[in-house]
Chains A and B, each alone.
Chain A
């Protein structure tokens, strides 16, 4: 099985580097994938439907640390394999679905920056997609003996019927003209427009002769256009992954939240009614983002009725076809498997090079559990990070054993770096070799608030 397969050094290093930095690896997710077979299967079916010109909408809901981000990355890598174009971005206070101060446009810019294809999995694929579209139009024009402009116009008909489609088509046309005339500025401006980087209509008009820009009000419309466009360029469709939707929950006004939830409702309606062609949306969020009847998606009545979970899917029964997929948190057994996988990756797939024994993994888990209690299951990120750090020390210092090093592993609660007093900076446990005595104000006195729960 997986243990048997060899691991390419490039993949190994990428995975380990990401894990040490506390982020999800961009490649090689399958090497450390644990469980979730049914969920992956459900999304695979969805991806095939999108590639078929259909549409899809999924909410991936799980507690902090349940592995939502990891899951979304995995889905994206599958989508790329299936010749879809993917985009992804984390929502945040300055990146929203709807806004009036540029935050929605900023989300769109981030999405286009992360636009990826199988050939360019790390993003920045927009120019090559346009190039591919233009090249295929050139070929088509050649074989059919038509003018290129005519072919492009013909292909873009389906776009023009959508909101803002006319200007979208005009910008693509401008790109072709730049291509033909060797006008790099014009090409660059067209790409900038498609990335949502124009901030004023005046600038866009001067540069490209179009009257509109992609801004806060039409981000979702632009995504729909892009989905059709990538199909015209020869891809299967577009998968958009949005993560950290809890940031919409945190928006400090009911009005702003409702406006954002309304965009989610539009997405959901379009996908279920088939109005979006070749577009899939996967949104990751926490349970309170979905369920809180006062601030969550359920506070928006129209969404609540559409998202309500299948009432027949009682505990023990599953339904992976609904719009909501629940990811359960990792169990200690899952975590054990995960740590074993990491050990395997670290050893480059060579069992003889394992740095810790099975017993050592168990001891490491016990140690973490004693240090921060059950919370460590909820934050596998820091557990994994420290585990990889430990492996690194063991690898480079062959004379030490995991038994000696275990006592030095210092796991701490995550802290907001913007709230750490300047004189304390550098103190939060970035350095696993730092002894407990060298860490000021750790443990003891802080525990009361570290585990604070509102009653």
Chain B
């Protein structure tokens, strides 16, 4: 196992008495003496004057266990210590209950000597404690976004008094929010807090990501992001231990492939057994998380590991966790992990990536290519939470054997190369920026209902101004908002009073009255795939399909004939296009930067240290194929009368190119990173695409109109199709990207 640890320590020149230390309150300084700290961390030195002086919002970025919490709270406590007020004075928002419990204990130790009350508020906190806070608000409150939402809904009128003298909002794990429904919800909650208080409240973001700080700043304070002070720790990062294991299948026997109904996944069986054996041997006796990308895989590995335990006559410590398991089963597993009493390894889909408390785990295993760098970072963040523990990540990637019929894409070893690229980007501190253009209409519905519950009734104009006009849903204009309101009215979520204000309808009351309302996100649902005479299985559907689209399942290529949204079913027929590439994306949206990094990995010749022997040999094979296919000099190859296009661009661009090719009457299939255009030579393909440069590209909403299964987020089912298409076009289509790729292709073609 290879360790990667960034070097660095406190500035050697800095030996004089610390200015920051001097700024702290005497009692806070005494507390630091009592802790026997030798010196303040670098981040604390920088943060203390920024937070104590001036009015700017601040982002503190340092690796886990880098002293961020103290960097924020030493100065905040300095402000609070001699100025008690009958109001919450500092609000801490953390994404996980367990994290809040941890921070609560740490802050209590600090605040006990300072006589600053510290409260926590989340789903596990008894009602009596919450009532006490409402009756006598003071000091610091630690809360989750969901509980803050509930506070607004249930005690909306108390918000202005409860937070009257609020001086700081601290947002922990800031990096976990941008781009998600939950992130948009948090932005809206912060915005609504300031509306209720009629003033701006300083925000302090704590981030474990050292990547794109401008993005974090614009998340923290969208209107004035240029004014946010960013402090990045120069000190040592957390140790990460990494291993990527490669597996190679035997040559594929087409006769064994689908239709036999037994094995419905693309993974080849032999490597699965080998991976399961390795997991069994390494993970037993500790708390671990294993991420397998689909429910079918989760069930297979959990079952296989249980069988292995029984065969070895040891108690089973391996349990599955995914969205279609009964809630009691899931909670049982979560409890077991949280209690930390008996060793437990949970095999899960993305359900355990965020949001649910499971305490600290020893290591993370990722089977197959991770869906994104951001998600890999989240998963990794589950490990090594305790000070001094390394974060441990093992990745397992299996590639198909090569025979004369192997497709060019398979020979490229795309899964392995993509995994390598993602890990390298992770180590470089990069992760995907959020899809900022997304409208998040689902979360808008939640926030609208919440604001109505908070105030009893609001006028349409007030609601739009509060949420959209310069607020968190700035992409939604008045006419879109009016259309959304109409649809919500039809679903009885809203009714209108005689004075024009909107209040909750009966269905709206039921929705808001249920405790599940407070979360903005839901785990992605899996859809059933139904062929004319067989049910093929389920797969997580993260982006929309249109009828006539192609998809890969069970090692075959299928054409979607119809989409049943209510029943979450895709009807498919075999497309008869022969074998697909073994890896065509896992439904997640791959970012352009990942594809660029992949191309760099192909062009480079070094072998990263975290690869095992088999992985190294697979990488070498992939590079050899890359050069054999001349992909270093051209992005289009002729494959037996078909054209395969390698745009080396993000999925939104690849989807857009596929839709454009279809719009140009070509039979185009999206294969993940490539697009296969059937019965068209590269020359013909390029000729067809040239028409777009002459006539201009169609509008994104026009291209997105054919897409079905648009309703994927929590409150999407209450929204008008137009809003979903606009959101979908903003999220999944990138016409500028497509235009750039076309310009590059056509430019190099004309040179030739």
Contacts and interface: CB of A to CB of B under 8 A. Distances in A.
Given A448-B482, A455-B489, A252 B453 contact: yes
Nearest to A418: B196
A250 B502 CA distance: 10
B692 interface: no
Nearest to B503: A250
Interface stretch (A165-173, A178-186, A286-294, A301-309): A286-294
Interface stretch (A12-20, A190-198, A399-407, A420-428): A420-428
A450 B497 contact: no
A389 interface: no
Given A254-B509, A449-B482, A422 B195 contact: yes
B457 to A, nearest CB: 5
A287 B496 CA distance: 12
A209 B36 CA distance: 56
B456 interface: yes
Contacts, number: 113
B462 A415 contact: yes
Given A249-B503, A419-B195, A419-B465, A453 B157 contact: no
Interface residues of B, number: 49
Given A294-B506, A449-B481, A422 B457 contact: no
B478 A448 contact: yes
Contact of A422 (B157, B200, B498, B509): B200
Contacts of A286: 497-499
B40 to A, nearest CB: 34
Contacts of A437: none
Interface string B465-494: 110011100000011011001100100001
B160 interface: yes
A413 B469 CA distance: 17
A395 interface: no
B169 to A, nearest CB: 15
A215 to B, nearest CB: 16
A59 to B, nearest CB: 16
Interface in A207-266: 246-247, 249-250, 252-254
A93 interface: yes
Contacts of B470: 421
A453 B499 CA distance: 10
B525 interface: no
Nearest to B466: A419
Most chain B CB within a 10 A radius of its CB, from A250, A286, A415, A416: A416
Given A250-B457, A421-B470, A454 B499 contact: no
B270 interface: no
Interface string A274-317: 00000000000011100010110000000000000000000000
A416 B455 CA distance: 9
Contacts of B494: 454
A236 B377 CA distance: 76
B461 interface: yes
Name B's interface SS: helix
A447 to B, nearest CB: 9
A295 B495 CA distance: 10
Given A247-B456, A452-B485, A252 B195 contact: no
B752 interface: no
Contact of B465 (A94, A250, A420): A420
A66 B489 CA distance: 26
Contacts of B460: 449-450, 452
B157 A64 contact: no
B157 A93 contact: yes
A416 B157 CA distance: 13
Interface string B195-236: 110111000000000000000000000000000000000000
A253 B509 contact: yes
A416 B289 CA distance: 48
B296 interface: no
A359 interface: no
Name A's interface SS: loop
A449 B461 contact: yes
Most chain B CB within a 10 A radius of its CB, from A378, A449, A455: A449
Contacts of B482: 448-449, 452
Contacts of A441: 469
B355 interface: no
Interface in B489-523: 489, 494-500, 502-506, 509, 512-513
A347 B272 CA distance: 94
B489 A454 contact: yes
A450 B194 contact: no
Nearest to A250: B456
B21 to A, nearest CB: 35
A449 B456 contact: no
B200 A378 contact: no
Interface string A384-409: 00000000000000000000000000
A135 B648 CA distance: 96
Contact of A416 (B458, B498, B506): B458
A445 to B, nearest CB: 7
B359 interface: no
A454 B465 contact: no
A44 to B, nearest CB: 28
Given A249-B503, A253-B509, A93 B456 contact: yes
B66 to A, nearest CB: 33
Contacts of B503: 249-250
Contact of A254 (B451, B481, B506): B506
Contacts of B160: 418
B464 interface: yes
Contacts of A419: 195, 451, 455, 458, 462-463, 465-466
Contacts of A448: 478-479, 482
A250 B456 CA distance: 6
Contacts of B457: 250
B513 A64 contact: no
Contacts of B498: 63-64, 286-288
Contact of A454 (B200, B458, B464, B496): B496
Interface string B19-43: 0000000000000000000000000
A446 interface: yes
Contacts of B196: 418
Nearest to B223: A423
Interface string B119-135: 00000000000000000
Nearest to B481: A449
Most chain B CB within a 10 A radius of its CB, from A286, A420, A452: A452
Nearest to B458: A416
B156 interface: yes
B454 to A, nearest CB: 9
Contacts of A453: 496, 500
B459 interface: yes
A418 B455 contact: yes
Contacts of A415: 459, 461-462
A64 B501 CA distance: 11
Contacts of B455: 416, 418-419
A449 B455 CA distance: 18
A421 B509 CA distance: 27
20 contacts: A63-B498, A64-B497, A250-B504, A254-B509, A287-B498, A294-B506, A415-B459, A415-B461, A416-B458, A418-B160, A418-B195, A419-B465, A419-B466, A420-B198, A421-B465, A422-B198, A449-B460, A449-B478, A452-B459, A455-B489
Interface of A: 63-65, 93-94, 246-247, 249-250, 252-254, 286-288, 292, 294-295, 378, 413, 415-422, 425, 441, 445-446, 448-455
Interface of B: 153, 156-157, 160, 194-196, 198-200, 451, 453, 455-466, 469-471, 478-479, 481-482, 485-486, 489, 494-500, 502-506, 509, 512-513
Given A252-B504, A421-B469, A449-B461, 18 more contacts: A65-B499, A252-B153, A254-B506, A287-B498, A413-B461, A415-B459, A417-B198, A418-B196, A419-B458, A420-B198, A421-B194, A421-B470, A446-B461, A449-B459, A449-B460, A449-B464, A452-B482, A454-B486
